[in-house]
């Protein structure tokens, strides 16, 4: 029982990180249809922004949350306005463009900050452990989990309980019809892209104290994020949360019996098998014809 609880807690920690990284990707693709290959680089930008705010300006991680989100959301807004919006409905072009943006962001970081690894301190009051169900758990990991849940419900509230969310859903279902009712689809797309990149940056900021920061750190997370979004169903927030839990817990349990590399391979095989029978993902929207 002790081993079982330990792996569940470890899996929830992995789940929270996957959820934060994947949520922005799912929202962007579900709304605009853009496969954002630069999503991992926005995770990296968030980590570096957190490091700069801590080392250069003395701002703690919690105090940096709003500046990190705003800075990266502005970057996402400008990228959508200047580049992405001219490539809608051109799938291959958007893939190549966002991939190129990701490469460019990596090189800019290498030239301005350097390639050497950076490290971020966990806030002192979160560096301790506490007992949860008889297991020693890092307070910081508990905070990440709670924050990921809060971000998920915030995204759900914005999409399903606000006027902006109503416009977003209208544009997603029928852009031309929404425009005929006076909805500015361009602003909806820009705002959605900004929100998605901002959430990705927050994920990078919270992952940074647990991992080293490097220009290519986002590459390691983008693959997992795509697996989460595809497994859950690209237009489902609930699916993104559920698939984050499935992949996080599966990876944790499998890694305890083997190693991280083999666990990832087995999880990938599991996803392929599921998609063989559910090619649209586990959670798909039923549309009445």
The 10s digit of each residue's pLDDT in 29-69 is 888 888 889 999 999 999 999 999 999 998 988 899 999 99
> Which residue carries 């703690």 as its tokens?
60
* pLDDT score for 1: 62
Contacts (Cβ under 8 Å, ≥6 apart) of 32 = 84, 88, 189, 192, 193
* pLDDT score for 44: 95
* pLDDT score for 285: 60
Beta bridge partners of 213: 118
**pLDDT over 90, % of the chain:** 35
Predicted confidence band of residue 287 (pLDDT cuts 50, 70, 90): very low
Question: Residue 94 and residue 100: Cα distance in Å, rounded?
Answer: 10
> Residue 159: exposed, middle, or buried by beta-carbon count in 10 A (0-12, 13-18, 19+)?
buried
Instruction: Calculate the average pLDDT of the chain.
Output: 87
Domain presence at residue 127? yes
Domain presence at residue 272? no
Domain presence at residue 233? no
- Residue 222's CB is within 10 A of a number of other CB atoms, namely 23
Predicted confidence band of residue 288 (pLDDT cuts 50, 70, 90): very low
**If you compute the radius of gyration of the chain from its CA atoms, what whole number of angstroms results?**
19
Residue 42's domain comprises 2-216
Question: Residue 67 and residue 153: Cα distance in Å, rounded?
Answer: 21
Predicted confidence band of residue 123 (pLDDT cuts 50, 70, 90): confident
Domain presence at residue 227? no
Q: Of 101-115, 156-170, 257-271, which has the strongest mean pLDDT?
A: 101-115
Which has more confidence, 165 or 73? 73
Domain presence at residue 10? yes
Domain presence at residue 202? yes
1-10, 18-27, 269-278, range with the lowest pLDDT: 1-10
31-45, 77-91, 130-144, 160-174, range with the lowest pLDDT: 130-144
* pLDDT score for 74: 96
Predicted confidence band of residue 157 (pLDDT cuts 50, 70, 90): very high
106-110, 131-135, 185-189, 252-256, range with the lowest pLDDT: 131-135
Question: Residue 194 and residue 166: Cα distance in Å, rounded?
Answer: 17
- Residue 258's CB is within 10 A of a number of other CB atoms, namely 11
Domain presence at residue 226? no
Domain presence at residue 261? no
**Number of domains the chain contains:** 1
pLDDT, tens digit, for every residue of 215-270? 998 887 888 888 888 888 866 788 889 999 988 888 888 887 777 778 888 888 88
Question: Residue 275 and residue 280: Cα distance in Å, rounded?
Answer: 7
Predicted confidence band of residue 78 (pLDDT cuts 50, 70, 90): very high
């Amino acid at each position: 029982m002790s081993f079982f609880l330990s792996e569940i807690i470890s899996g929830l920690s992995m789940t929270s990180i996957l959820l934060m990284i994947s949520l922005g990707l799912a929202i962007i693709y579900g709304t605009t249809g853009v496969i954002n290959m630069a999503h991992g680089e926005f995770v990296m930008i968030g980590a570096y922004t957190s490091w700069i705010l801590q080392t250069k300006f003395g701002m703690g991680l919690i105090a940096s949350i709003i500046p990190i989100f705003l800075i990266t959301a502005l970057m996402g807004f400008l990228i959508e306005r200047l580049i992405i919006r001219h490539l809608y409905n051109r799938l291959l072009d958007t893939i190549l463009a966002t991939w190129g943006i990701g490469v460019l962001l990596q090189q800019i970081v290498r030239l301005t900050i350097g390639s050497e690894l950076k490290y971020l301190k966990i806030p002192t009051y979160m560096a301790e452990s506490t007992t949860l169900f008889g297991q020693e758990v890092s307070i910081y990991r508990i905070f990440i989990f709670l924050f990921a849940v809060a971000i998920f419900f915030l995204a759900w509230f914005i999409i399903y309980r606000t006027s902006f969310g109503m416009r977003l859903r209208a544009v997603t279902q029928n852009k031309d019809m929404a425009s005929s009712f006076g909805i500015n689809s361009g602003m909806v797309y820009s705002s959605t892209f900004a929100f998605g990149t901002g959430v990705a940056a927050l994920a990078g900021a919270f992952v940074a104290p647990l991992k080293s920061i490097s220009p290519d750190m986002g590459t390691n997370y983008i693959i997992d994020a795509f697996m989460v979004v595809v497994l859950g169903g690209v237009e489902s927030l609930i699916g993104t949360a559920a698939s984050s839990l499935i992949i996080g817990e599966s990876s944790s349990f499998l890694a305890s019996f083997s190693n991280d590399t083999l666990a990832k391979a087995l999880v990938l095989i599991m996803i392929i098998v599921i998609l063989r029978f559910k090619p649209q993902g586990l959670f798909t929207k039923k549309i009445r014809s």
